[in-house]
Amino acid sequence: MFNKIKHRNTKQRKVILEELKKTTLHPTAEMLFKMVKKRSPKISFGTVYRNLNLLKEQGQILELTCGKDSCRYDGDITPHYHFFCLTCKKVFDLNISVLDKEEKLYKDIYKKTGLAIKYHRLDFYGYCKECEIKMKEIKKSDK
Amino acid sequence: MFNKIKHRNTKQRKVILEELKKTTLHPTAEMLFKMVKKRSPKISFGTVYRNLNLLKEQGQILELTCGKDSCRYDGDITPHYHFFCLTCKKVFDLNISVLDKEEKLYKDIYKKTGLAIKYHRLDFYGYCKECEIKMKEIKKSDK
DNA sequence: TTAATTGCAAAACTTTTGCAACGCT
DNA sequence: AGCGTTGCAAAAGTTTTGCAATTAA
């Protein structure tokens, strides 16, 4: 309870956060590793992971739901939802309203189940435009 | 496009599906492996994974969103949402209404973004009752 | 018979971790 | 100086896969 750690501003952490904030690709740790490597060539994979976990705990970034694939990270921490392309694995931001019934819904669930919700996640899945076009072309040539 | 596979009804697949359908634990592959092993002692881990993937593709079961932990599987394929305990990792079914604005929402998103949504997922996170009690006790004893 | 499936073990992947060296504060 | 952090490499954990043997249809 009194193990307050004073984190330092290392060059690596700064670069990781900056690179993540400046992209909308919702990169995986590996993608980000490559991006960061351009500015900090000696950085290691472990450092990227350690910092992503730290920044996540500090609430400076978000870790999106990852399936069996690797996690995606988001430097945009304003509440918003995502669309995941089932084919190419791209992740898109959705500009729809975040459940404003949030509080009511949370209370409803609490009343019904006794479960106190901290946060929720609403993910949409489908095929992005590019992939849909590709799929149509494949179907055509199959006939 | 013409690689239609005729799947067989193997004893193993049957047991895996039955065991998954009869529990509400939303087990991981490993948990299910242990459950199935009681009835099919010689079954292997690979078989469990292969069948879970097959049953998932066939739409007979659901794979829930897994973080960095292992995936959870659900034998209940009726639309419903889940609550994930951040501490003990238990998964609970929620008995709240599934977005009935679903179609409207889907269309709105399509209009706005051109993205055609196949399905969505709404996950809630927090601490279950048991874990909340434990946490309170720890805080008490810390004072 | 024959092609899908299994069991086993190895491989593939993603993420975490131990440790000595390094570098913020 | 003190200790949080890094780079490196090894380890851990989850899921997939190659292959010969087995089995459902």
**Residue A81: pLDDT over 80:** yes
Query: Which residue, chain included where needed, has tokens 């299910």?
Result: B32
Q: Which residue is closest, via its CA, to the C1' of D5?
A: A10
| CA distance linking residue B118 with residue A125, whole number of Å | 6
Q: Would residue A6 count as lying in a domain? A: no
Say how many CA atoms lie within 13 Å of A120 toward its Cβ. Answer: 23
Q: Would residue B34 count as lying in a domain? A: yes
**Residue A22: pLDDT over 70:** yes
Give residues 17 to 46 of A whose Cβ lies within 8 Å of B.
none
Residue B12: per-residue pLDDT: 98
Q: Looking at per-residue confidence, does A94 or A3 come out higher?
A: A94
Residue A2: per-residue pLDDT: 54
Domain count within chain A:
1
The predicted model gives B26-36 an average pLDDT of 98
Using C1' positions and the CA of B41, the closest nucleotide is C7
Give the tens place of pLDDT for each residue, B38-84.
999 999 999 999 999 999 999 999 999 888 889 999 999 999 999 99
DSSP B69: S
With CA atoms as reference, report the closest residue to B88 among B55, B129, B48. Answer: B129
Structure tokens at A58: 């500090």
Residue A65's pLDDT band, with cuts at 50, 70 and 90, is confident
Strand D within 7 A of A6 CB:
yes
Q: Which amino acid is at B101?
A: K
Q: Looking at per-residue confidence, does B59 or A134 come out higher?
A: B59
Average pLDDT, chain A: 92
| CA distance linking residue B46 with residue B138, whole number of Å | 40
DSSP A64: -
Q: Would residue A83 count as lying in a domain? A: yes
The predicted model gives B113-142 an average pLDDT of 88
Cβ atoms A110, A117 nearer than 8 A: yes
Instruction: Give the domain CATH number at A70.
Output: 1.10.10.10
From chain B, the residues in CB contact with A112 under 8 A are 95-96
- Of the spans A63-67, B1-5, B18-22, which averages the highest pLDDT? B18-22
| CA distance linking residue A78 with residue B12, whole number of Å | 46
Task: Please indicate whether, in this complex, the C-beta atoms of B118 and A128 are within 8 angstroms of each other.
Answer: no
Give the tens place of pLDDT for each residue, A23-50.
999 999 999 999 999 999 999 999 999 9
Residue A143: per-residue pLDDT: 52
At how many degrees (to 10) do helices A45-57 and A11-21 cross? 70
B137 touches chain A (CB under 8 A): no
Strand C within 7 A of A10 CB:
yes
Q: Would residue B76 count as lying in a domain? A: yes
Q: Which residue is closest, via its CA, to the C1' of C23?
A: A10
A102 touches chain B (CB under 8 A): no
Q: Would residue A4 count as lying in a domain? A: no
| CA distance linking residue B121 with residue B15, whole number of Å | 28
Strand D within 7 A of A53 CB:
no
Q: Would residue B118 count as lying in a domain? A: yes
Using C1' positions and the CA of A6, the closest nucleotide is D4
| CA distance linking residue A92 with residue A87, whole number of Å | 13
**Residue B29: pLDDT over 80:** yes
**Residue B1: pLDDT over 80:** no
Structure tokens at A97: 């309203």
**Residue B36: pLDDT over 90:** yes
Q: Would residue A75 count as lying in a domain? A: yes
* Domain extent at residue B116: 11-142
Residue B142's pLDDT band, with cuts at 50, 70 and 90, is low
Average pLDDT, chain B: 92
